[in-house]
């Protein structure tokens, strides 16, 4: 560059901090909207719920198969980490209905027997994360900011190591999010406090 042999190179700056989350009030309003509104397509409603309830990134959503959803009697769980995460109603009913008869089956493209929760246009392939992200953005779902708000709320309600295990995050990440959110779980002394 100094000798004008090549053009000036600009290296983009990569943001490493967590994006500003949406407010808890806005998050709850979005959850209410996706659970009750029939205006949104079912696929977008399911993906948005996975982001706003379980803080899952879009790139992880497209890798989920129907086998990650376990239905045992009245209990529905998602295998996002260890242990499996419970799925509350009315989302459990919505999710089971989507798996049963709501997933898109494209003739000449994805096979009807595809195991992907979000099947793509190519047979046997999941949907592209960018495609799902665009669909969610068009539906008014803030994917990155919504996921950040969800994770912050979850680590304020439960120990970050528990949240990390259940949702498939690394403990260091959830501890950092808890510290940024002002969580007090590090000061919590586990054990029997009745003595």
- For 143-180, the pLDDT digits (tens) are 999 999 999 999 999 999 999 999 999 999 899 888 88
Residue 132 C-alpha from the chain's centroid: 12
Per-residue pLDDT reduced to its tens digit, 40-65:
999 999 999 999 999 999 999 999 99
Four-residue CA torsion sign, 37, 39, 45, 48: negative
Name the phi and psi angles at 168, rounded to 5. Answer: 80, 25
Q: Is residue 2 part of a domain?
A: no
β-bridge partners, 69: 78
Contact between 109 and 14 under an 8 Å Cβ cutoff? The reply is no
Single pTM value for the model: 0.81
C-alpha of 46 from chain center: 10
Is there a domain that residue 4 lies in?
A: no
Which stretch of 46-55, 69-78, 94-103 has the lowest confidence by average pLDDT?
94-103
Alpha-carbon distance of 106 to 26, in angstroms, equals 34
Does residue 28 lie in a domain region?
Answer: yes
Number of domains into which the chain is organized: 1
* Gap between the Cα atoms of 136 and 48, Å rounded: 7
Domain-located, residue 128: yes
> Is 188 part of a structural domain of the chain?
no
Within a domain: residue 73? yes
Tell me if 98 is assigned to some domain.
yes
Residue 190 lies in a domain: no
**Domain assignment of residue 50, given as a range:** 24-145
**What percent of the chain has pLDDT above 90?**
59
Strand partners, 126: 119
């Amino acid at each position: 560059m100094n000798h004008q042999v090549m053009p000036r190179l600009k290296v983009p700056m990569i943001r490493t901090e967590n994006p500003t989350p949406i407010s808890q009030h806005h998050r709850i309003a979005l959850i209410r909207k996706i659970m009750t509104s029939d205006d949104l397509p079912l696929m977008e409603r399911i993906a948005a719920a996975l982001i706003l309830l379980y803080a899952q990134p879009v790139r992880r959503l497209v890798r989920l198969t129907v086998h990650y959803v376990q239905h045992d009697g009245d209990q529905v769980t998602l295998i996002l980490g260890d242990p499996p995460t419970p799925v509350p109603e009315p989302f459990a009913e919505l999710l089971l209905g989507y798996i049963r008869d709501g997933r898109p089956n494209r003739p000449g493209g994805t096979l009807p027997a595809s195991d992907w929760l979000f099947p793509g246009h190519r047979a046997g392939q999941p949907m592209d994360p960018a495609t799902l992200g665009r669909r969610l953005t068009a539906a008014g779902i803030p994917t990155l900011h919504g996921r950040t708000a969800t994770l912050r709320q979850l680590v304020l309600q439960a120990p970050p190591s528990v949240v990390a295990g259940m949702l498939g995050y690394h403990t260091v990440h959830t501890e950092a999010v808890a510290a940024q959110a002002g969580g007090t779980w590090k000061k919590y002394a586990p054990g029997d406090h009745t003595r």
